[in-house]
Amino acid sequence: MERVNGIGGYFLRTADPVAMTAWYRDVLGVDFGDHGLWQQPAGPTVMAMFGADTDYFGTRPENQDRQQTMLNFRVGDLDAMIAQLQGAGAEVAPETEDMDGIGRFGWVTDPEGNRIELWEPVEQG
């Protein structure tokens, strides 16, 4: 079975991407590089599901039909993952995207309509 092997990115909608990038860099110390690439130390990642009525995330957006963030998972073999998802009946975008020096991307939509990006990074060597 093909499995995701880590979180590859997290994307936020914002009215001012330049200012928001500066805030994350200057306030939180996220050292963005090219294409927002941040080399982070190895460590655990928590992934947990919460009820739709949770207030754990703070104030809920008024327009909940608009996805505010997108999760990106790193994968070892994008084609194998896409085939596996299609075999399971998941809603997979028909297109993929290649970015020179970055890797390949594909997308799947979870059962509640949240679009998730899948990233097969270029092997560094």
Q: Please, what are the domains in the chain?
A: 4-13+68-121 (3.10.180.10)
pLDDT at position 88, please? 94
82-89: long-range pairs with CB below 8 Å, 24+: 82/106, 82/108, 82/118, 84/1, 84/2
pLDDT at position 124, please? 67
Residue 119 has φ and ψ, to the nearest 5°, of: -130, 120
pLDDT at position 36, please? 86
Q: How far is CA 110 from the centre of its chain?
A: 12
Q: Is the distance from CB of 73 to CB of 8 less than 8 angstroms?
A: yes
Q: How far, CA to CA in Å, does 87 sit from each of 4, 32, 112?
A: 16, 37, 19
Tokens at 62, concatenated: 């008024």
Instruction: From first to last of the 125 residues of the chain, give the pLDDT tens digit.
Output: 999 998 999 888 888 999 988 998 898 888 888 788 888 888 778 888 888 777 777 655 555 556 767 889 999 999 999 999 999 999 999 999 999 999 999 999 988 788 899 999 998 66
CA pair distance 69, 13, nearest whole angstrom: 7
pLDDT at position 111, please? 83
* pTM of the model as a whole: 0.76
pLDDT at position 123, please? 83
pLDDT at position 69, please? 78
pLDDT at position 125, please? 64
Per-residue DSSP letters for 19-69? HHHHHHHHHH-----GGG---------------TT--TTSSPPS-TTS--E
Q: Is the distance from CB of 93 to CB of 49 less than 8 angstroms?
A: no
pLDDT at position 50, please? 85
